[in-house]
Structure 1
Amino acid sequence: QIVNNLAKIHYRWGQNADVVVRMPTGAGTAAGPFHSQSNEAWFFHTPGLKIVYPSNPHDAKGLLNAALEDPNPYLYFEHKLLYRSISGPVPDSYYTVEVGKAALAQEGTQVSIITYGMGVHWAIKVVEELRISADILDLRTLLPWDQEAVAATVKKTGKVIFLHEDTLTGGIGAEICAWISEYCFRWLDAPVMREGSLDTPVPFAPNLEKQFLPTERFKGKLKELLEF
């Protein structure tokens, strides 16, 4: 219904689709293959939908308010582990975060890490461990994604890696990396890289879940990119 009806209501009948679907998502809680999966890429391919995915409390409130104001249909992804692990200041007053605009979670010069959701926090931790200077671009909105911000960080550092929690094949990173290769090639000093979770269902066992998630593989690939 989301893909065949909700996304096409305006195109078919000229009607608004004032719907915001909240989508709890993500692993890290040992909840297994159903409750821990990431499925934002399923909907990323569907014209007519807007997709937001906050990484922090401030953006969570602002993006939700913006989605509620918009007559277009939204999928609002909220990572379940972030519920329990992240805190931050949130104004009591009403505000919105602009849809379609990425934000730099951290600024640097050596490499650009493009990510969203839990990936932002993974990237910050790995950059700190490796003691490198990196732009960490939090997409915040996945559809429509911020092409200007992506191009700006690629031009700035010349090296880029995309990180997402979703399984690697057919993920959002594949589309954006392809776009970078097509439109930003002249500014690249290394191959465009990406890392995601394994192409398997999410395991229940915490030790297997840790291997499923991309954090350790991302660290190795980031080192490879820096040394290229």
Structure 2
Amino acid sequence: MSDDPKYNAARAALDFIADGMIVGLGTGSTSAHFVRLLGERVKQGLKVKGVPTSEATRNLAEQVGVPLLEISQITSIDVDVDGADEVDPAFRLIKGGGGALLREKIVAAASKRMVVIADTSKWVETLGAFPLPIEVTRFGFALTAQRIHAALRETGCVGDEVVLRVAGKANEPVITDGGNYIIDAHAKSIRDPDALGAALSRIAGVVEHGLFLGLAQTVILGNASGAEVKSL
């Protein structure tokens, strides 16, 4: 599949950026396109400062010349531009496929506007086909996984399998930038995202979940020839 749809979505997000803004910089392949494009605009004279949502994004922003601020230096963000693994018609999201969901949600929640950039394949009627990432403490993670499993069943999800995310030849657990593990919940279909989100937030050991509810105001869906902008 060509990367054009992701690039086109990222390029359309530049319309939401103005001189003097503080901009949240998302994580993932589509967000990387946006960071590179923003770097080009900075070289042309645009005055902005970015707040990265991961170390990977920080490194890329530094490479392309986007000036950065630490999250501790700001009280609010003008606009956050980030990708998504799934988006439904109510602009509810699943995020965290890249493992940065905690920092992504902190930045999104601090932003006056969240602009989601994605290709059209990420637009779904019902969330859940993409496994829901949940960041958990390493201490007691097996107990936490059991409670996540129960929460999936109690909130009517079609699937209830939970899997610790691993990587590499040795299948070692993935460690997030915050030093935590990620459990991927294979819900298949999330019938009540709000109920599931609330249930997960009540579990001791869950640091944050990848359901982004009530945060996005704009969704840009890229396709091969351009992008469609949707707003609530």
TM-score calculated relative to the size of structure 2:
0.27
Higher RCO structure (Cα 8 Å, ≥6 apart): 2
Give the structure with the higher percent strand: 2
TM-score calculated relative to the size of structure 1:
0.27
